[in-house]
């Protein structure tokens, strides 16, 4: 008799296939990945969190809220133990686990795997587009866990899962600032449920007791969010980031472009949710309407909110489909004479018995055979250079022992930190909260070659400039005395400041 771990169902096979595809095709080129990895290295090497910024020369020693330190330590451990393939596996597991959790919720609410697969299939491109070795992967998983506990409370009367949420919060608050989304979800859910109870003609006292237990769990979650190195400071941090005006210049904080496939899939899921609820025989209650619409609205505001929105939309869309005529139409088609005739001759699939699992394992083995050649080419201990166009310039700087103050493009700071710190310090990187609105606006004026670029640039005291070939500031530096180009490939150039005669003699 096969035990459960050896029973590879068709659903398990789908997730296994997705996992293998992600291992084989996921690039490790996200700019923020590299400074997260370097931060994890620093924390482990020093046995403590840095007291201030240690990677840039423009903000050296300035306060730095390390709200993602736990994920960065995990990233360091995985990379140290398994290299690139381990990092890809970590990202794939976190993303697929979140999707699997909401699929399970959808299947239970709709009482149909077929109806659950519809919103999951539509949501898959959105989740796939957001997979990267960054701390928000932890937020996807934690949000799914929180949503699962709340839906179990609402539809199954389960209380115990609520009191596991404070323990999840301890991990979440130290892994990513997205922990605030969990608290927002809890408060919004509780407010809707209380309003629904108050609106009842006859109020059920047992339901009130359950809602009071929910309120207790929320209080414990809020207290658990203080279990972080910054205590109350961590409560203010998400609002400070959301309030930064430079977010309008960062792509992931902009509204989605609905010509982009994942954005089209996102819009399709939102429309399916609305249409299914419009034609549902039983209309949604306040919670079933407010929660998905709140997250759907935020997904339309910023690209980085889209994955969170689809995780919430999937189970509620499946529930709406189960209540709509779509489910009845499917049942009629399944019960029609041609389908019954076909099923009677085809069989139900149960005739295979244990053989079904054997066939699934064989299929999984065939799929897995595509990966070893790719995995064999990965070298442990260094991120895959072909994924990063900046690798050649970084190799040149490291090989020639260059360092000091580097002026760089915003998106390149993370990789330069990983490759060159502490011998070189960058001007800027993806930690927008560290640099602030004022500095980033001045930096952009310099980078774009605005009228006042030169005095602002000179105040930085730059030693090297590592810039894309099409960067406006590169053309200006080449046309002005003081810098010469010492390296160039088809993507990047390295410009070095000419030493004054006195300094040249000292260097000699």
Q: What average pLDDT is seen over the chain? A: 86
**What pLDDT sits at residue 359?**
61
154 touches 196 (CB < 8 A): no
Tokens 């979650």 correspond to: 221
313 touches 296 (CB < 8 A): yes
Kindly give, in sequence order, each residue whose CB lies less than 8 Å from that of residue 111, ignoring residues fewer than 6 positions away. 322
**What pLDDT sits at residue 236?**
78
pLDDT band at 21 (very low <50, low <70, confident <90, very high): confident
Task: Name the phi and psi angles at 255, rounded to 5.
Answer: -65, 150
CA distance 55 to 338: 68
Taking only the tens place, the pLDDT of each residue in 410-452 is 989 999 999 999 999 999 998 888 898 889 999 999 999 999 9
Among 131, 110, 135, 134, smallest CA distance to 120 is for 110
The sheet carrying 483-488 orders its strands as 424-426, 404-408, 464-468, 492-497, 483-488
| More confident position, 340 or 52 | 52
DSSP string covering 292-347: HHHHHHHHHH-GGGHHHHHHHHHHHHHHHHHHSHHHHHHHHHHTSHHHHHHHHHH-
Q: Is 250 exposed, middle or buried (0-12, 13-18, 19+ CB in 10 A)?
A: middle
CA distance 319 to 303: 25
Percent residues over pLDDT 70 in the chain: 84
Taking only the tens place, the pLDDT of each residue in 319-345 is 999 998 876 665 666 566 675 665 565
Among 85, 71, 79, 81, smallest CA distance to 25 is for 85
Helices (H), 233-285: 233-242, 261-278
Strand pairing of 424-426 and 483-488? unpaired
Is residue 369 scored above 70 in pLDDT? no
Tokens 């996102």 correspond to: 266
**What pLDDT sits at residue 5?**
54
Mapped onto helix, strand or coil, the DSSP state of residue 453 is helix
Task: Name the phi and psi angles at 404, rounded to 5.
Answer: 90, -140
136 touches 178 (CB < 8 A): yes
């Amino acid at each position: 008799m096969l035990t459960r771990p050896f029973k590879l169902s068709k659903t398990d096979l789908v997730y296994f296939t997705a996992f293998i595809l992600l291992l084989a095709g996921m690039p490790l080129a996200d700019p923020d990945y590299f400074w997260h990895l370097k931060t994890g290295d620093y924390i482990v090497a020093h046995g403590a969190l840095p007291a201030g910024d240690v990677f840039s020369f423009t903000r050296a020693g300035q306060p730095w809220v390390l709200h993602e330190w736990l994920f960065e330590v995990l990233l360091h451990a995985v990379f140290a133990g398994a290299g690139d393939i381990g990092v890809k596996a970590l990202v794939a597991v976190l993303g697929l686990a979140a999707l699997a959790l909401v699929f399970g919720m959808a299947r239970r609410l709709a009482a149909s795997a077929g109806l659950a697969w519809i919103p999951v299939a539509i949501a898959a491109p959105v989740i796939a587009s957001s997979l990267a070795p960054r701390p928000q992967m932890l937020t996807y998983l934690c949000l799914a866990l929180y949503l699962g506990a709340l839906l179990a409370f609402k539809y199954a009367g389960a209380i115990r899962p609520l009191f596991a949420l404070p323990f999840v919060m301890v991990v979440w608050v130290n892994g990513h600032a997205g922990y605030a989304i969990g608290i927002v979800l809890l408060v919004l859910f509780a407010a809707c449920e209380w309003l629904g109870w108050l609106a009842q003609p006859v109020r059920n006292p047992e339901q009130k007791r359950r809602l009071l237990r929910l309120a207790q769990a929320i209080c414990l979650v809020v207290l658990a969010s203080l279990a972080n190195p910054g205590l109350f400071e961590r409560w203010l941090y998400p609002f400070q980031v959301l309030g930064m005006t430079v977010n309008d210049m960062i792509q992931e904080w902009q509204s989605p472009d609905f010509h982009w496939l994942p954005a089209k899939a996102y819009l399709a899921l939102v429309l399916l949710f609305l249409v299914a609820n419009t034609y549902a025989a039983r209309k949604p209650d306040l919670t079933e309407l407010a929660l998905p619409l709140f997250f759907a609205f935020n997904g339309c505001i910023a690209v980085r909110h889209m994955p969170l929105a689809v995780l919430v939309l999937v189970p509620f869309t499946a529930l709406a489909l189960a209540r709509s005529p779509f489910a009845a139409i499917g049942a009629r088609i399944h019960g029609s004479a041609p389908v019954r005739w076909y099923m009677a001759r085809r069989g139900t699939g149960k005739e295979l018995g244990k053989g079904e699992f054997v066939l699934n394992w064989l299929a999984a083995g065939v799929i897995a055979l595509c990966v070893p050649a790719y995995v064999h080419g990965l070298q442990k201990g260094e991120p895959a250079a072909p994924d990063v166009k900046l690798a050649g310039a970084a190799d040149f700087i490291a090989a020639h022992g260059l360092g000091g103050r580097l002026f760089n493009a915003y998106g390149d700071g993370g990789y330069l930190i990983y490759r060159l710190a502490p011998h070189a310090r960058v001007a800027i990187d993806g930690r927008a909260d560290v640099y602030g609105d004022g500095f980033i606006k001045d930096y952009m004026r310099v980078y774009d070659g605005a009228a006042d670029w030169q005095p602002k640039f000179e105040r930085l005291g730059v030693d090297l400039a590592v810039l894309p070939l099409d960067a406006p500031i590169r053309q200006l530096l080449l046309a002005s005395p003081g810098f010469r180009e010492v390296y160039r490939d088809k993507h990047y150039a390295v410009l070095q400041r000419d030493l004054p005669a006195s300094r040249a003699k000292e260097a000699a």
